[in-house]
Amino acid sequence: MQPLEAFYEKKLTCIYCTKPFKTLRVRSRFSIPYQIDSDFCPNFRAGNYNPHFYFVNVCPECGFAFSEEFSDRFPISSKEIIRVQITENWTKRDFGQVRDIQQALEAYKLAILAGSLKKEKNAVLAGLCLRLAWLYRSENNSEQEKRFMGMALKAYEESFVLSDFTGTSMSELQVLFMIGELSRRLGQYAKAVSYFAKVIQHKDAKDKQKIVNMAREQWRVAKEEKHQETIQE
């Protein structure tokens, strides 16, 4: 397979400095997962390209990194903080070519910093932390995977409290499910069970059978894991 066939170039404008730049995206037929984990992490065979490597856009001029989920609004004073903490320290680099795992990891870390400084929605920050955890999972680095799952969990909890998932790709049921599933993966079984129950008993549950069925299954798994843990103590 010719690697370049798998990609197309996308023209973007930096939402911070407004300069145009180009970045790559993976064509969907080159990124078909053979399996999807219970937290929606897609798994790709060797030779496939992981689109999550290209989820974050990094402006080569100023170093501001963002996903398509970022809003273009910046709270007052955040622009100055971003200038001091990101753009003044930036050495011009191009993330617009085929990325290796190190560049993909770095792009996410830049976007998590940029998004935090700009006070991006918790639901958006959670999605970045979750995808970064998935990249570490694909590298079998469970310590870093857990670290970023923990950050994603905290951000989804904040998002639920503030309802800031409104207007993003996440519904309330999906946010509740992710709190349950990330808690389970981090060994917080009682919390996992209570959040899966919130999905199952939700007022919108009857129209969303797919996620409700997943919550039922993961509720059962978390109960079993909680039980196993009690036996071992």
Shortest distance (Å) from residue 109 CB to Zn ion: 17
Q: Which two tokens stand for residue 143?
A: 């310590």
Shortest distance (Å) from residue 51 CB to Zn ion: 23
End-to-end CA distance of the chain: 52
Give whichever of 17 and 197 is closer to Zn ion, judged by the CB atom: 17
Give whichever of 30 and 90 is closer to Zn ion, judged by the CB atom: 90
Which residues are at the interface with Zn ion (CB under 5 A)? Answer: 14, 16-17, 59, 61-62, 64
Give whichever of 64 and 177 is closer to Zn ion, judged by the CB atom: 64
Shortest distance (Å) from residue 21 CB to Zn ion: 7
Amino acid residing at 220:
R
Shortest distance (Å) from residue 106 CB to Zn ion: 16
Give whichever of 26 and 62 is closer to Zn ion, judged by the CB atom: 62
Please state, in angstroms and rounded to a whole number, the distance separating the CA atoms of residues 143 and 214.
26
Give whichever of 83 and 216 is closer to Zn ion, judged by the CB atom: 83
Give the list of residues 6+ apart from residue 113 with CB closer than 8 angstroms, or none.
65, 85, 86
Number of CB atoms found within 10 A of residue 161's CB = 9
CB of 158 closer than 8 Å to CB of 132? no
- Give residue for tokens 């170039």: 9
Shortest distance (Å) from residue 103 CB to Zn ion: 17
Nearest to 23 by CA among 6, 7, 4, 10: 10
